[in-house]
Amino acid sequence: MSNNRISQDFMKDAAISVVKTTAEIIGSYIPLIHSVTTLVTEIYQLYENAECNKEICSIMMERAKTAEFAMNMMKDKKENEKYYRQKEYYVAFKKFEICLNKIKHFTDKVSKLKDYKKFFNATKVKNEYEKLTAEYDTCMRDLHFTIAIANERAREDDSKKVDETLTHIENYLEKFTHVFEDKFDELAQEISILKTQQNENPSEIRVERINSNELMEPTVHKDTDIRGLKNNPIVKRIYKGIEVACKPIKNSDEYIHRELAIIGKLFLSPNILKFYGISNVDNNEVMVFEWAERASLKDLYDKYDIAWSRKIQIILDICRGISFLRSVNIFHHDIRCENILITKALEPKLANFKYARPTSATTTDLSKQLNEVIRWMAPEQIKRYSNGKKAGYTFNCEMFSFGMLIWEFCYERIPYQKLGLKEIIDHVTNGKRERLSLGKFDKKIQEKFIKIIDRMWQHEPHKRITLSKLFIRLEKLHTTYPANALGLLENGALELTEKDKLIEKDKLPEFNDEFVINDDFSKPLLSLDEGITLHKKKDHAGAWKCFNDNSELGSPLAKYWKGYYLYEGYYVQKDINLANMLFKEAADGFFIYL
């Protein structure tokens, strides 16, 4: 064999070796790149669902997104391949992943009212923010992601936004939480314990039992002492000198008792209907609540026009009730005027906790109650339900429903009352809403409410106003326009635009054949995360099928895992050559398309 031939063979072998080495080196970054991409997505999700400090969350999200963009720009350029061969660069990339993890946890904490109150104050947040941004900038320089490093002007602007946001949230917490002092954490812990008992030892949960002899009939009877359905009425009784409502329990099982146990813990808030316990009236099991003389807020606006200054007061008090629920980690899940009860003094009380749950619990499935709740439901929920999928629920959903309640109360009629179910679905999911128009009186107040409602029912969840900002706006509005009189006017006195006095009750059609909630939907293809979980459980057969199926769809990460299985001989016969080819394809896929 000639020297020339030997030289060519040597060069060919060396080239193949270099390709393999390059593929293996670049392939080692694939899990890190995937982790970074996942973290950025999670940070964005936290920003979307932020209850407070949304501006701070936005800054952190933008930093993460910019870094991801810089990472993708960097890997697309062939001349940058030399960096990926350096051990120091790999270490810097790992530090970047750790930094993003810190940003994620910081964003998570500052975005939730309960965590902010528990772990932070303005000084701590600012210090942690500055520490994280400095660490982030160092990572960007080490990775040569120069596009992701903010200039001095941008840093100053961001710092100013952080200061303004922290001043705002501290103001909100001072105005709202001082009433309850340090009882929030204790109450949240009690609710958490109850939730654990629900899952582990439901028989241990006990609800206060009231002796039926303690429930006395009123000495003076009124027609309104009995309300609701004729065969299942709510009746008024006197308990320890207090007027109470005795509401029949339709289903006296452990579920009812567990939920009532949680409601019984919410007595601290004057804006939540107080629950006293269960008892027996006329041989029927009943729940005993405080009596709301004027029935529901819907009943009130059906009977009267409510002065605009009084509307401000009532909506502010409802906001206080929702703020309290959020502080103890409870979603109401069904915010509308019919579920707000009104005392004789026009004090609103959040009621009907049928669908309520702790925020950490499984989302309540309302697919069978769409006829009842869809008019107040957020578009992202409607879309999931209409596609036959389980609808997740966030605080942004609750804020949307609250916005619909405010619209309902301002215009004194239920939303979309002339539309059927299918029409509502199309209307709301396409970004359309009810009309925002001005009535005859107090137009300045109406204009303020129009702006508030518009901020609350934004189509994109992260664009909706936060609870803390809403509270401050309503309080300022109340200070400017205090409710000095009861404010109950003759029906029609306000001449509200488009108020239809002939429609007393909403009637929705049943589901038709064109709209079906499909609970039997099954995925024909496992996700990569599910495949990785199977791998960790040593279900190599199931994991291999998942990785193989996804790799055929072109997923770079799936190709990497498939190559790994072939390289190690998990479930399938070893094939190192095919494994190296897949590593190379995975690397090319990540560095071109990710």
Question: Residue 77's pLDDT band (boundaries 50, 70, 90)?
Answer: low
| Average confidence (pLDDT) over 540-565 | 85
Q: Is residue 509 over pLDDT 90?
A: no
Question: Residue 229's pLDDT band (boundaries 50, 70, 90)?
Answer: confident
Kindly report, residue by residue over 440-492, the tens digit of the pLDDT. 888 999 999 999 999 999 999 988 998 888 998 999 999 999 998 889 999 88
- Residue 191's nearest CA partner among 337, 434, 353 is 353
Distance of CA 573 to the CA centre of its chain: 46
| Average confidence (pLDDT) over 109-125 | 73
Rounded Cα distance, 56 and 202, in Å: 41
Question: Residue 190's pLDDT band (boundaries 50, 70, 90)?
Answer: low
Other Cβ atoms less than 10 A from the Cβ of 362: the count is 9
Q: Write down the pLDDT at residue 309.
A: 95
Both tokens assigned to 208: 């206060």
Q: Mean pLDDT across the chain, nearest whole number?
A: 80
| Average confidence (pLDDT) over 154-161 | 78
Question: Residue 12's pLDDT band (boundaries 50, 70, 90)?
Answer: very low
Q: Write down the pLDDT at residue 512.
A: 41
Q: Which domains are assigned to the chain?
A: 3-179 (1.20.1410), 187-290 (3.30.200.20), 297-489 (1.10.510.10), 528-593 (1.25.40)
Q: Is residue 539 over pLDDT 60?
A: yes
Of 67-81, 273-287, 419-433, 489-503, the poorest mean pLDDT is in 489-503
| Average confidence (pLDDT) over 175-182 | 53
Both tokens assigned to 212: 């039926």
| Average confidence (pLDDT) over 305-315 | 96
Q: Which residue has the higher pLDDT, 525 or 561?
A: 561
Using left for φ > 0, alpha for ψ between -120 and 50, and beta otherwise, residue 343 falls in beta
**Residues with Cβ < 8 Å from 490, sequence gap 6 or more?**
304, 305
Q: Is residue 7 over pLDDT 60?
A: no
Fill in the amino acid letter for 16: I
Q: Which residue has the higher pLDDT, 317 or 117?
A: 317
Q: Write down the pLDDT at residue 590.
A: 46
| Percent of the chain predicted with pLDDT > 70 | 78
Q: Which residue has the higher pLDDT, 588 or 219?
A: 219
Q: Is residue 511 over pLDDT 50?
A: no
Other Cβ atoms less than 10 A from the Cβ of 476: the count is 11
- The four Cα atoms 20, 25, 28, 30 give a dihedral, to 10 degrees, of -80
Question: Residue 257's pLDDT band (boundaries 50, 70, 90)?
Answer: low
Kindly report, residue by residue over 399-447, the tens digit of the pLDDT. 999 999 999 999 999 999 999 999 999 999 999 999 998 888 889 999 9
